[in-house]
Amino acid sequence: MNIFEKILKMKNIFTLFLLAVLLSCSSNHQNPEIDKSLIKENITFYGKEISNDSLQVFNQEKEMVMNTGLKSCKLSGKIVETCSKKGCWMTLDTGEDTLFIKFRDYGFFVPIDSVEGKNAVVQGDLFLDTTSVEMLKHYAEDAGKSEEEIALITEPIYELGFIADGVIIKN
């Protein structure tokens, strides 16, 4: 037997060995369908770690607050804007209204950029609020508004407010 015949024989033996290994690794069991709801979303927590479930409907919560003045709840929406200086507040589009979110006791902050348009979940207290002219001007300054825009703020506003204990931002 010459060298070429030996190489060909070894090649055939190697191929059979490889085929046997591959066949022994296969299984007669079918792979179960992956439950997509179990795949963890790429999310970041700020403040208290909260869950991503049991979300309330904004309009129902708003109606309750109009009667009681305060309601603990968990809401979701798209981030419209965050404080450009510290990340100490954000506005959230709930689909029905835009909600101004502050963070309990300045205990945590959210990113100051790169989060606009991302989905978020907030858990905390929804309440009736009066925002003074002084605070409105402060928030406008934080948001980078011009002096002319800030000067136009002359009346307090009465609206819903939200103090968050925890925030989830979906990346």
Residues 6+ apart with CB under 8 A from 147: none
> Tell me, what's the pLDDT at 38?
33
Query: What digits encode the pLDDT tens for the residues 64-79?
Result: 999 999 999 999 999 9
> Tell me, what's the pLDDT at 25?
45
> Tell me, what's the pLDDT at 16?
44
- Quote the CA–CA distance of 1 and 81 in Å, as a whole number: 80
Total domains in the fold of the chain: 1
**Domain-located, residue 10:** no
- Quote the CA–CA distance of 84 and 93 in Å, as a whole number: 18
- Quote the CA–CA distance of 82 and 169 in Å, as a whole number: 12
Domain with 45 in it: what CATH number? 2.40.50
Which alpha helices (DSSP H) does the chain contain, by range? 3-25, 58-68, 133-142, 147-151
DSSP letter at 36 equals G
DSSP letter at 129 equals E
Query: What digits encode the pLDDT tens for the residues 80-132?
Result: 999 999 999 999 999 999 999 999 999 999 999 999 999 999 999 999 988 89
> Tell me, what's the pLDDT at 4?
47
**Domain-located, residue 107:** yes
> Tell me, what's the pLDDT at 33?
41
**Domain-located, residue 4:** no
**Domain-located, residue 88:** yes
**Domain-located, residue 137:** yes
User: Under the phi-then-psi rule, with left for phi > 0, alpha for psi from -120 to 50, and beta for the rest, what region is 144?
Assistant: left
Distance (Å) of CA 62 to CA 29, 57, 83 = 52, 9, 24
> Tell me, what's the pLDDT at 137?
95
Query: What digits encode the pLDDT tens for the residues 12-64?
Result: 554 544 444 444 444 443 433 433 443 456 899 999 999 989 999 999 999 99
**Domain-located, residue 7:** no
**Domain-located, residue 19:** no
- Name the band, by pLDDT with cuts 50, 70 and 90, for residue 2: low
Q: Give the domain extent around 77.
A: 38-170
* Torsion angle, alpha carbons of 55, 108, 100, 113, to 10: -100
Residue 7 reports pLDDT greater than 60 = no
> Tell me, what's the pLDDT at 167?
97
**Domain-located, residue 161:** yes
Query: What digits encode the pLDDT tens for the residues 134-152?
Result: 999 998 998 899 999 999 9
Report CA torsion sign: 140, 135, 67, 123.
positive
Report which residue type is found at 106: Y
